[in-house]
Amino acid sequence: MRHSGGRRLAALACAVALVGTGCGTIRDFFSEPAVFDTGIEPLTLELGGPAYTAAVRGGLLVRDGDEHVVLPRASSAAWLPDGRVLAFTGRRTQVVDPGSGPVGPTLRVDPDPERPVSSVGMLRGSDPVRLASYDLDLTRTSVVDLPGTDNPDATRSNELARHYYGSAPTVDGARFVEWHDGSEFYEDGDYGVLRIEGDEQSNVLVNARIVDLFATPDGAALLALRQSSGQPCGGCVVPQDIVEIDPATGEIVGEYGMPEGYDDAWRVQAVDKVGERVAVRFHETRRDQGLPQEVPTGTWVFDGSWELLERSDKVTTWWQGEGRIETRPAPDEPARRDGLQLVWISGDEEVELPGELIWARGHDTAWGSVAGRLLPPP
């Protein structure tokens, strides 16, 4: 990986030379925003394919290629870059190898653990809040106390305090955590992001209306979902846009907007960046037979302008090496299943895959996940 200081010098050189391509938010002569180049070496994703998890009658199926295991009590899983998963059972997680099953220690998790790329971050406690970091074997590597509010209006009577929330992604050795200063007696406090690198902590993106952070699956970029106006309001349905953050500084360096025809009912399901292309997958949530259905609105690709990826408003696709997994509508499935068929496609071969991405079991629901990228290889 390139040192962050080198990236700062490269950015300064771009600004002095007034060159648009690959220089963050500097626009070219045609006023098209350039896609920011972080200069970070991407991780190699080790997937044999088909790589996915899905609910089956015996539990949660974890499969990569010809290797698979069924976890009886797991409710969901998140893919690691090395082809293993973090499997979640209740409020605990454990690394699972598709060929050999669970390995290593179990870890208590909070409701919204980090999307794992190069490490796993967990928020702990309340006074002070601590950020515990773990490697991909779930061995703890550090614990950091996070600062409280610096708002001068904070008093014992208004209970104004800093609250940390969301995921805590790490990109190029820097970790980012969202925060909000507020209480039930003080509703209009600041929002921001804490950037942590080694022993250094700094507040960035203060009141920049950031509502979610996305480290790309290869660990080479940090993208964010920004509310277009007003105070961030979590799950409310309001217009949003896509921006990119420089991991070296925590500053917004790419403002990519949204596709033409974007509706604030479109919800962002996933974000990725492959080379100089940013991809966003949208869906609309509907209910069918009592289950939530994430109906695809399409995967849109930005490389200076937005375009709809072919067929992505009909089927959802994940690319895995030389193959891909698609979900296709299966309206004749029995009730309380997800109404989708998973299909593995490699060359001219198409194979239907067992399992459901959503499957209700009594009062519990199991959720599957598919590894891979939102875009085909360049």
Instruction: Give the position of tokens 């917004």.
Output: 252
Which pLDDT value is given to residue 10? 40
Which pLDDT value is given to residue 83? 93
**Would you place residue 240 in the very low, low, confident or very high pLDDT band (cuts 50, 70, 90)?**
very high
275: left (phi over 0), alpha (psi -120 to 50) or beta: left
**Which one is predicted more confidently, 111 or 117?**
117
CB 229 within 8 A of CB 214: no
Instruction: Please list the residues that pair with 224 across neighbouring strands.
Output: 213, 243
Which pLDDT value is given to residue 283? 85
Q: Mean pLDDT across the chain, nearest whole number?
A: 85
**Would you place residue 25 in the very low, low, confident or very high pLDDT band (cuts 50, 70, 90)?**
very low
Provide CB contacts within 8 A for 258, sequence distance 6+.
239, 240, 241, 242, 306
Which helix (H) or strand (E) segment holds residue 57: the answer is: none
Q: Tell me the CA distances in angstroms from 303 to 24, 254, 274, 278, 320, one per residue in order.
A: 13, 11, 10, 7, 22
**Which one is predicted more confidently, 155 or 105?**
105
Sign of CA dihedral 237, 241, 246, 251: negative
Bond before 50 cis per omega within 30 degrees: yes
- Give 94's DSSP letter: E
The pLDDT of 217-244, averaged and rounded, is 88
Half-sphere exposure of 270 (CA within 13 A, CB side): 21
Highest mean pLDDT among 6-10, 251-255, 258-262, 292-296: 251-255
Residue 4 main-chain phi, psi, to 5 deg: -60, -30
Which pLDDT value is given to residue 33? 62
Domains of the chain in sequence order = 4-370 (2.130.10)
Q: Is 280 exposed, middle or buried (0-12, 13-18, 19+ CB in 10 A)?
A: buried
Question: Is the pLDDT at 342 greater than 80, yes or no?
Answer: yes
pLDDT tens figures, 56-103 = 999 999 999 999 999 999 999 999 999 999 999 988 999 999 999 999
Question: 196-200, 208-212, 293-297, 351-355: lowest mean pLDDT where?
Answer: 293-297
Instruction: State the Cα–Cα distance between residues 67 and 81, nearest whole angstrom.
Output: 16
Which pLDDT value is given to residue 93? 93
Q: Tell me the CA distances in angstroms from 160 to 130, 131, 187, 230, one per residue in order.
A: 18, 21, 9, 20
Which pLDDT value is given to residue 90? 87
Which pLDDT value is given to residue 37? 94
The pLDDT of 349-356, averaged and rounded, is 95
- Give 42's DSSP letter: P
pLDDT tens figures, 311-328 = 999 899 999 988 999 998
CB 226 within 8 A of CB 241: yes
Which pLDDT value is given to residue 113? 62
**Would you place residue 19 in the very low, low, confident or very high pLDDT band (cuts 50, 70, 90)?**
very low
Which pLDDT value is given to residue 287? 62
CB 53 within 8 A of CB 368: yes
CB 321 within 8 A of CB 53: no
* Nearest alpha carbon to residue 26 among 216, 246, 340: 246
Which pLDDT value is given to residue 188? 74
- Give 11's DSSP letter: H
Which pLDDT value is given to residue 178? 95
The pLDDT of 22-38, averaged and rounded, is 59
The pLDDT of 223-241, averaged and rounded, is 84
Interior CA angle at 20 toward 15 and 21, to 5°?
120
Question: Is the pLDDT at 265 greater than 70, yes or no?
Answer: yes
The pLDDT of 271-290, averaged and rounded, is 84
Question: Is the pLDDT at 291 greater than 90, yes or no?
Answer: no
Question: Is the pLDDT at 248 greater than 60, yes or no?
Answer: yes
Residue ranges in the chain assigned as alpha helix (H)? 4-17
The pLDDT of 266-274, averaged and rounded, is 92
Question: Is the pLDDT at 1 greater than 70, yes or no?
Answer: no
Which pLDDT value is given to residue 359? 85
pLDDT tens figures, 40-52 = 999 988 988 899 9
CB 316 within 8 A of CB 326: yes
The pLDDT of 249-260, averaged and rounded, is 96
Report the length, in residues, of the chain: 378
Q: Which one-letter amino acid corresponds to residue 372?
A: G
- Give 64's DSSP letter: E
The pLDDT of 16-20, averaged and rounded, is 37
* Nearest alpha carbon to residue 117 among 141, 86, 96, 74: 86
The pLDDT of 354-359, averaged and rounded, is 91
